[in-house]
Structure 1
Amino acid sequence: MHVSFASVAGSAHKPNEDFLAVSPRVALVLDGLTSPPELGSGCIHGTPWFVSRLGTQLLREATCRPEAPLADCVAEAITRVADLHRDTCDLSHLGTPSCSVALVREGADTVDHLSIFDSVILLDGPRGLKVFSDLRVDGYAQQEHKETTRHRIGTPEHQQAVSRLVAAQRPHRNVPDGYWVAAANPAAATNAVTGSVPRAEVTRAAVLSDGASCLAEDYRLTDWAGLLDLLEADGPDELISRVRQAESTDPSGERWPRYKASDDSTAVFCRFDGTGSAGG
């Protein structure tokens, strides 16, 4: 598996809450969920602390336990990170630090994948392109979401609408019949979107935070195949540059309503050789 990647913060004034990690057979992207300060989180560490530790544990588990199901690896990683701050933070708080997870692992015969929340995995090959994500959150707080689109990014009204949206979503987070994020509850792993594709059916793949997938998913400036072609030809940095160029033409979100002018953007591109052996 040959890998290239890039990650760029959405703002020069805030830390990047995305995280990526790769090994010869594993690629993963985490996208931290921003918590409006007025809603609190119950944690003294913050989202960047959480995603970096969870990502590190995930890479370790998925790499060192190649025969273990990815859901088991994610559950163990979530538990390990929760144990790191269980004594100092309120992990039952609805706003406890959390993130999406998108994870791909190359095996001898299959390419396994796992998605929690809205990051995107693309697997492409002789039998066509497959898209994996977890958008169950879209079924909740729809009225509050619509309200965010009524206001220009950067206005107090927009920020207040986003806070109301997050507050309305939180009671449905990580509960039965709700939607799932990676936080402190390992049950998120058993509720993830998982699957396997025969190794021979994958020639290239991408693992994307929604700040990178938006070029196709939200802005519709290309399709998924075009996004993969861009990654393959020009690399992840160029994909993120295209996203930033689009956003710069619509800073207030009138053409593309969204929660912030620019989001953290992370893209990992994987190219698979014909043998299934690890590449450099």
Structure 2
Amino acid sequence: MPELHIIDSLTDAGHPGRINEDAHGWNASAAFVLDGATTLGPSVAPPPLTDAAWLATCVSAQLQENLVPPVATAEALRPAIAEAARRFREMAGDALEPWRYPVASLLGARVAAEGATLFGLGDTVAFMRDGFGATRRWTPAAYGRDNERASARAALERNNGFGSAGAAYDEAGALEELRRKRGLHNRPGGPSWLVGVVPEAADHLQIQTLDLSEPVTVLLCSDGFAELVDHYRRYDAESLLEAATRRGLSSLCAELRHIERQEDPDGARYPRFKQSDDATALLVRVG
């Protein structure tokens, strides 16, 4: 069976006044990151947790236990979501508006006797380099983020920047639209299926087979970390993997925060809903 080695790991809250709504985890045969979607109103989970942070932590613990051979990845994810759904509904009691149910993106790498795969739901991102030096990017997301950035620019203009909370998503118009879109997930015909409180999302898990003719280096990351490539354009897949291997993930996170807090603190150059998003990454070697 191929082996999976953790080279480096990082998870960093985007704002000192907010809890980190990301999570990551691993065991002998799998590694993954979870990016909880920002809670858009009052939380059901007890403070200091938000519902997004609670979901990411709950599912992470379940996956670390469930993702073991010979259980198929979807069959490991389904009971993890079901258990989170049971606990959340127990906490919530009454039914909630659709946007209040927490969701998270997921991305992982897994090894088994038959080979290795990436798996995921949502807009988390993998950057890969094989033993021959070829690099590429992969995400399970079925949609781009251009509309999100246009909406963020409009919200920043209406809100006159990020405000003391470091975010523009609490501007009334932006918040209403984000809540509307949040409620469309995890339903037939919706924009995407995500980790949340709907176990059927496991049936929509995206799988990518890895070619292990040579060892593969994979950087699994939340979209907040992937902004170094996807939004800020400081790296491409090749140079990001080189920097992660040579300098480490903490150095890259420091560079990320410098861009967001010193170079573009108002979001004028890089429109976004939060000055700094939570950033999580795992650098792994598979082979």
Q: Which TM-score band (shorter chain)?
A: 0.7 to 0.9
Q: What are the within-5 Å matches in structure 2 for residues 171-190 of structure 1?
A: 171-178=183-190, 179-190=192-203
In structure 2, distance between residues paired with 1:216 and 1:193: 22
How far residue 263 of structure 1 moved from its aligned partner, in angstroms, is: 0.7
Pair 80,147 (structure 1): closer, same or farther in 2 beyond 3 Å: closer
Contact 1:121–1:131 (CA under 8 A) maintained in structure 2: yes
Aligned counterparts of 1:91 and 1:53: Cα–Cα separation in 2: 20
Q: TM-score, normalised by structure 1?
A: 0.86
Q: Which residue of 1 aligns with 2:108?
A: 103
State the match for 2:162 in structure 1: 154
User: For 1:206, what is the secondary structure of its paired residue?
Assistant: strand
Query: What amino acid sits opposite 1:61 in the alignment?
Result: N
Q: In 2, Cα distance between the equivalents of 1:186 and 1:158?
A: 28
Residue in 2 that maps onto 1:12: 16
Give the SS at the match of 2:170.
Answer: helix
Letter in structure 1 aligned against 2:170? Q
Comparing 163-172 with 121-130, greater Cα deviation is found at 121-130
The one-letter amino acid of 2:208's match is G
Structure 1, residues 48-98: CA drift from partner, whole Å, max 9, x if none? 222111111011111x3x222212211121012212233232566422121
- The verdict on how the C-alpha distance between 1:157 and 1:34 changes in structure 2, with shifts beyond 3 A counting, is closer
Where does residue 265 of structure 2 map in the other structure? 251
Structure 1 residue matching 2:246: 3-state secondary structure: helix
Change (3 A) 1:170 1:157: closer
Name 1:135's counterpart in structure 2: 141
Report matched runs for 1:81-230 at 5 Å: 81-89=84-92, 90=94, 93-94=97-98, 95-126=100-131, 128-138=134-144, 142=147, 146-150=150-154, 151=157, 152-155=160-163, 159-160=170-171, 161-178=173-190, 179-230=192-243
Work out whether 1:262 is the aligned partner of 2:265.
Answer: no
Partner secondary structure for residue 104 of structure 1:
strand
- SS of the residue aligned with 1:88? helix
Q: What letter is aligned with 1:180?
A: W
- AA partner of residue 112 (structure 2): G
Change in 2 beyond 3 A, CA 1:157/1:82: closer
> 2:118 touches 2:208 (CA, 8 Å); kept in 1?
yes
Evaluate the alpha carbon distance shift between residue 47 and residue 139 of structure 1 in structure 2; reply closer, same or farther with a 3 A threshold.
Answer: closer
Aligned-pair distance for 1:113? 1.3
What is the CA–CA distance in structure 1 between the aligned matches of 2:169 and 2:75, rounded to whole Å? 39
Q: Between Structure 1 and Structure 2, how many residues are aligned?
A: 266
Where structure 1 has 5 or more consecutive residues not aligned to the other structure, the ranges are none
Q: Unpaired runs of 5+ in structure 2?
A: none
Aligned CA RMSD, in angstroms, stands at 2.3
8 Å Cα contact 1:123/1:202 also seen in 2:
no
Q: Greater CA deviation, 172-181 or 196-205?
A: 196-205
Partner SS for 1:53: helix
* Identical-pair percentage: 25
What TM-score comes out, normalization by structure 2 length?
0.84
Residue pair 2:128, 2:241 contacting (<8 A) in 1 also: no
Residue 54 of structure 1: SS of its match in structure 2? Answer: helix
